[in-house]
Structure 1
Amino acid sequence: MPPLSAATRLSLSLIAGGAVANIYYNQPLLGLLVQVFGHDASVLVPTATLAGYGLGILGLVPLGDALPRRTLIVGQLLLLAAVLVLAATSTSLTVLVSASFLIGVLSTAAQQAVPFAAELAPDAVRGRMVGQVMTGLLLGILLARTLSGFIGAWLGWRAVFVGAAGLSVALAGLAWLGLPRTPPTARIGYGALMGSILDLVRHQPVLRRAALAQALLFAAFNAFWTTLALLVEAPPFGLDPAGAGLFGLIGAAGALCAPVAGRFADTRSPRPVLIGGAALTLAAFVVFGLFGGVSLVALAVGVLLIDIGINTALIANQTRVYALAPGARGRINTVFFTAIFAGGALGASAGTRAFAAGGWPALCAVGGAFAAASLLVPLLEPRDRPRS
């Protein structure tokens, strides 16, 4: 197996961030999409995208254990570019929602990049190496909103998808030229590959707990982010999509905690990181509920808290699950991230519906409930032994 060089880490980071960004470009654009396609667009488009991402993780990511990851990444990115063009040219909500679903499915190229890093990294520094690649993925999640908001405000929502298609083609070229060729880690058929996923769920309690905790956190995360644009574009704030997207820059600071969280998880128990991450996420919703409806400063503080909380917990959970079965990291990633993005789709739907029904206080109650439930998972689980 070739070593995880600095150049390979950078390539994987860019691919992970650039691919996953596609599922978040629509969020600052929801106000613009509502003007063209009606209110249903604010619920259906982000929910379809996240649901597609979850299905792609379930159906495509396990192939990384049975096929060369580089080939999978290149193929997904090229198909993704074609679907992004379809979204950019949509003239009906049905076409846009269908394209959004496929964008989610194919953006799982990001989830080929992360276990690729775990495969290539030495055991002693796997958490730190995964944390570095995840920094790219997390920055992609957060900066996607800022970039999309600015482009949408100046050039319109269609230009966002056109630009994303061009970026996807460029990333496919980077993957082909910059990633090593590696053999599959499992030589089994697709049916057996998928069946083995159920065995992992049954026999790995750490994986089940990590997936549940992170799914609940991601539900809280998406409940907030899918409604933020609707809040700040209305009175008393009156921001445009570019202003809504700027909150992504604040949250990007949370992504910088990923290598630190990974280093801590490499040397000590990840449990304090998990508890701290969930507690910070819950604290963010307390801030949002008390002051977020009237203060942009409070919203900014809450964004920083929620992103630091989500990201540190994510790296700690990934470090735990990637150590469970080295030959099955793609399938472990499937279980872990299928649960996470199912939670994300639930949170996006619950958040937008709560906001429509009861405004900002209802949204904060829903998000806070998800965060509180996630905090209970590490608090109630058996304690990990600190590493010597």
Structure 2
Amino acid sequence: MSRRLLLLLTLTCAVGVGTVYFPQAVSPLVVTALHASPGSASLVVTAIQIGYTAGIFLLVPLGDRLPHRPFLVTLLALTGAGLLAAGCAPGLAPLLAAAAVVGVTTVAAQVIGPLAAGLVAADRRGAVLGTLLSGSTGGMLLARTFGGTLGEWLGWRAPYLAAGAVALLLAAVLARTLPVTTATSRRPYPALLAEPLRLLRTEPELRRSCLYQAAVFGAFSAVWTCLALLLTGPAYGLGAHAVGMLALVGAVTMLCTPYAGRLVDRRGADRVNLCCLLGVLVSAAVLAAGAGGGAAGLAALAGGTLLLDVSMQSGTVANLARVYAVRPDARSRLNTAYMTCAYLGGSGGSWLGVRIYGRAGWQGVCALVALLAVIALARHLVAPHGRDARQAGGDGRGAPVPAGIGGPPTAAPPVGSAGRTV
């Protein structure tokens, strides 16, 4: 894993994740250009998001079955072709069809994570995963700005065409630069699809990591879903653009996740998780101070959302480092199980958050965040960290051991055992 390759994979993660988000900014332009209703145009965003979830379930497990270079190149090529087709769509129906294809195939970031985990020594895995996650975060944050600015300047088709060209260019570059890897599983495709559920039943470290991420991502989703209601409500009376401006504080996480990864390498995943869960609990108290409005309230919201964002993303690095150490030969299937639980937790958090906000207001949402953090903390405090870490190929601290000690050797063929969020 050279620095050049790491930078290229980080850029690929940014483009892959950004592809899911930039259509949100382009949707109003589609309404005007194609004479569609706002509800119909929003279906483009929905099609990509549903397709992305389907791609995680249907395609990511194939990372254990197929060599990574042709698999990633094919995914990026299909994504690029889908984006170009969307940019040339003559009407809403073809645009929806192309968006669905883009959503299913733009799962490169979820394939790159397991790949990178197998290309580096265990004592560098956290740092590499943190760097990749910073790229995904940057892609998510900048995608809306990219799509909105380019769309206003050149029309709604321009962001799709530009993103398609970038995806095809990355496919060509990766076809020449990615190392050759070998498959780690010969299971038939139906068995690969069923494997994530079996791993959830049999691997306690995977279940623990999934619980942490589902709880924290649920808290994150509840806050950001209800934040728009708070800012546009009587307490603040701001416009919808205020939510986008507040979201920019999350850019700090791009700098924090690589550092969190290095802490995972040095101190172990469990210690980083503990700090992150405590950070989520503290963020609930800080966010609660933002219910009153005014400049002080806005400052509390900025500080609380920043602490929540950093805690969630840093915890993700720790969780992934632990998950990828469980079964080096099944990292893509493990990632499928992990990401599925994360998205279920996020969806549940959004659903609960809106309903609690309607009954108990912003303070109720903050109480939900605190409750989810306490649930995860309670599980963390009773977890048999040392035993589970050793079973997962760890060093007793929650950090993975070097390959060849409880894992596959570092000879050339098993490097292919490389096999994600947000």
Q: Deviation at 1:169?
A: 2.3
Give the match for residue 334 of structure 1. 336
2:280 touches 2:369 (CA, 8 Å); kept in 1? no
Q: Deviation at 1:25?
A: 2.6
Give the match for residue 317 of structure 1. 319
Give the match for residue 210 of structure 1. 209
1:353-388 residue CA offsets vs partner (Å, 9 max, x unmatched): 766888756655555554444444323423344379
Give 2:107's aligned amino acid: T
Greater gyration radius = 2
TM-score, normalised relative to structure 1: 0.82
2:26 touches 2:148 (CA, 8 Å); kept in 1? yes
1:54 touches 1:339 (CA, 8 Å); kept in 2? no
Match of 1:18 among 12, 15, 25: 15
Q: Deviation at 1:310?
A: 0.7
1:120-155 residue CA offsets vs partner (Å, 9 max, x unmatched): 111232222222222222322233344345446666
Q: Deviation at 1:119?
A: 1.0
Q: Find the aligned partners of 1:289 and 1:358 in 2 and give their Cα distance.
A: 12
Give the match for residue 146 of structure 2. 147
Q: Find the aligned partners of 1:46 and 1:293 in 2 and give their Cα distance.
A: 33
Q: How large is the RMSD of aligned CA atoms in angstroms?
A: 3.6
Q: 1:288 to 1:269 in 2, by over 3 A?
A: same
SS at match of 2:13: helix
**Within-5 A mapping of 1:77-116:** 77-85=76-84, 89=89, 92=92, 101-116=100-115
1:207 touches 1:336 (CA, 8 Å); kept in 2? yes
Aligned residues: 381
Q: Find the aligned partners of 1:26 and 1:228 in 2 and give their Cα distance.
A: 21
Q: Deviation at 1:262?
A: 1.9
In structure 1, list runs of 5 or more residues that go unmatched.
none
1:320-362 residue CA offsets vs partner (Å, 9 max, x unmatched): 1111111111111111112112323444555567668887566
Q: Find the aligned partners of 2:68 and 2:335 in 1 and give their Cα distance.
A: 14
Give the match for residue 344 of structure 1. 346
In structure 2, list runs of 5 or more residues that go unmatched.
387-395, 402-422
2:28 touches 2:38 (CA, 8 Å); kept in 1? no
Q: Find the aligned partners of 2:261 and 2:49 in 1 and give their Cα distance.
A: 26
Give 2:121's aligned amino acid: P
Q: Find the aligned partners of 1:369 and 1:97 in 2 and give their Cα distance.
A: 39
Q: Find the aligned partners of 1:177 and 1:95 in 2 and give their Cα distance.
A: 33
Q: Find the aligned partners of 2:370 and 2:28 in 1 and give their Cα distance.
A: 25
Give 2:12's aligned amino acid: I
Q: Find the aligned partners of 2:363 and 2:39 in 1 and give their Cα distance.
A: 20
SS at match of 1:7: helix
SS at match of 2:385: coil
SS at match of 1:24: helix
> Which stretch has the larger CA shift, 137-146 or 57-66?
137-146
Q: Deviation at 1:319?
A: 0.9
1:284 touches 1:302 (CA, 8 Å); kept in 2? yes
**Within-5 A mapping of 1:1-388:** 4-26=1-23, 37-38=37-38, 49-85=48-84, 89=89, 92=92, 101-151=100-150, 159-226=158-225, 236-238=237-239, 240=241, 244-291=243-290, 294=293, 295-351=297-353, 364=366, 369-384=371-386, 385-386=396-397
Q: Find the aligned partners of 2:261 and 2:172 in 1 and give their Cα distance.
A: 29
Q: 1:66 to 1:258 in 2, by over 3 A?
A: same
> Which stretch has the larger CA shift, 330-339 or 216-225?
216-225
TM-score, normalised relative to structure 2: 0.76
